[in-house]
Amino acid sequence: MLPTTILIDESPRCVVRPVDTKDLNRFLRNGKAFLLAEKPTGKVTHRAATDAEQTRWREAFALHKAWGGEDEAFFGIPLQSETSARRD
């Protein structure tokens, strides 16, 4: 599959590249605590990543590979929102 953006209430939360639809559904199910950490009552949806989001994903993947990481071990990247970027 191509990089996919996971949205919470239509706001991008992360970009992932699942192997197939089963893999995507498993992530959505198992990753709910991570995905909804900032909005516990939010609605989780997904869409194809935009060009800018794909570029960020590819850059992170290239960094992962540069240190010797395996292709299969890289899944995705978080997209910072105001609350997750804030330092308390």
pLDDT at 88 over 80: no
Indicate the pLDDT class of residue 81, thresholds 50, 70 and 90: low
Please state the domain extents for the chain. Answer: 4-85
Label residue 56 exposed, middle or buried (CB < 10 Å: 0-12, 13-18, 19+).
middle
Q: Helices (DSSP H) in the chain: which residue ranges?
A: 21-30, 32-35, 51-66, 82-85
Q: What is the pLDDT of residues 35-67, one digit of tens each?
A: 999 999 999 999 999 999 999 999 999 999 999
Q: What is the DSSP string of 3-28?
A: -EEEEETTEEEEEE--SSHHHHHHHH
- Contact indicator for 35, 8 with CB cutoff of 8 Å: yes
Alpha-carbon span 40 to 54, nearest angstrom: 26
Mean pLDDT for the stretch of residues 11-19: 95
Mean per-residue pLDDT of the chain: 90
Between 48 and 82, residue with greater pLDDT = 48
pTM of the model: 0.85
